[in-house]
A and B are shown apart, each in its own frame.
Chain A
Amino acid sequence: MFVLVVGAGRVGSAVAKRALAEGHEVSVLDEDPLSHERLDAGQPRSWEDAGGQFTVGTALEIEALTAAGIDGADVFIASTDGDNTNLIIAQIAQRQFQVPKVLARVMDPARAAWYGEQGLQTISPTQHAIEMFELALYGTAA
């Protein structure tokens, strides 16, 4: 499977590293060249030596997405630190590049829920946190 991860923050880089370790082909796109350090951290080999790909660029630029290999991607993960950026680039991956599986990280539960209803697979860390808190407090989530 070829996985393209856009946004190499804590979540994106962790998901990318695991996917590579699982034997998948992984490409990471981030506008900050320094985010590459997160991909190397705690690893015996550098990201590239381990077989990973890293591209510096902005996700709204089609050239950057193309350079990162979106045309051949089986999975697209939008995990930048901006909800709206993730929602827009996920839709570009879906509609323009027909990536079969598209996942978007959306902090705001309301936006995550509505876009989820529209056919975009969204993951809301905030919603998960709310549920975990409720589970810890009441033994059941609302």
Chain B
Amino acid sequence: MYVIVVGAGKVGWNLARELLAKDHEVTLIECSRQRYLVVEDELEHAVQYGDATELWVLERAGIQRADLVIAVTGDDEDNMLVCQVAKEKYLCDRIIARVNNPRNLPHFKLLGIQPAVSATDLILRLIEHEVPRYGLVHLLALEEERLEIIELEVSTDAQVVGRRITDIGLPEGSLIISVLRDGSGFVPKADTVIEAGDEVLLVLDPGLEDSITGFFSPNGVS
């Protein structure tokens, strides 16, 4: 795979190094001369000097044949612009953008730039995972495919306890894909009986969370 990484900060440099170690072809683009010289010392010809928001710099890096463009500079406007140009002008199949300020996330969405990865958001999700205060953890949202995967803990007096999956009557557009019980997981069948303390993974159409949580939380309270 040919990958162009824009921005040789900590994220970009390490990403390029990992991708090279996995035998991908990589070009890393960095616009600070000083930083470029530091990184070039290690990555040599895999790093190019220039402002990747200039079209000729992207073309010099061979964006026409890139399979993936990753924009991870510290500037959200630059990341949005690089990804928009990669996708719409150079018809690159896959883009990944870094979101520095989570408040800019709606702008990435508005311009159709996905996936847009925000470190703040990822850490918040990890906190949710460690401290499942709301009983529901978002594991994955596939926005283009309009699907999400969530994890729920079954509380002791939830209405699903002691019932077979087929009898629960989950809404259309939701499916239990895995049950974690006593530290190990298995794929349930229609006649699997849900127990208190189980952790269940569900795949959902977006927007169904609220109607789902009631099945697994105490007394149907979400």
Contacts and interface: CB of A to CB of B under 8 A. Distances in A.
Given A60-B76, A60-B77, A84 B53 contact: yes
B54 A108 contact: yes
B77 A82 contact: yes
Q: How large is the interface on B (under 10, 10 to 19, 20 to 34, 35 or more residues)?
A: 20 to 34
Given A88-B81, A91-B110, A95-B110, A60 B53 contact: no
Interface of A: 60-62, 82-85, 87-88, 91-92, 95-96, 108, 110-111, 114, 118
A contacts with B: majority SS: helix
A92 B54 contact: no
B107 A111 contact: no
B29 to A, nearest CB: 15
B64 to A, nearest CB: 14
B107 A92 contact: yes
Nearest to A94: B110
Contacts of B56: 110
Nearest to B88: A118
A114 B55 contact: yes
Contacts of A91: 110-111
A87 B89 CA distance: 15
A114 B89 contact: yes
B53 A88 contact: no
Closest 9 CB pairs of A and B: A84-B77, A84-B81, A110-B55, A85-B77, A88-B77, A84-B78, A84-B53, A88-B80, A95-B110
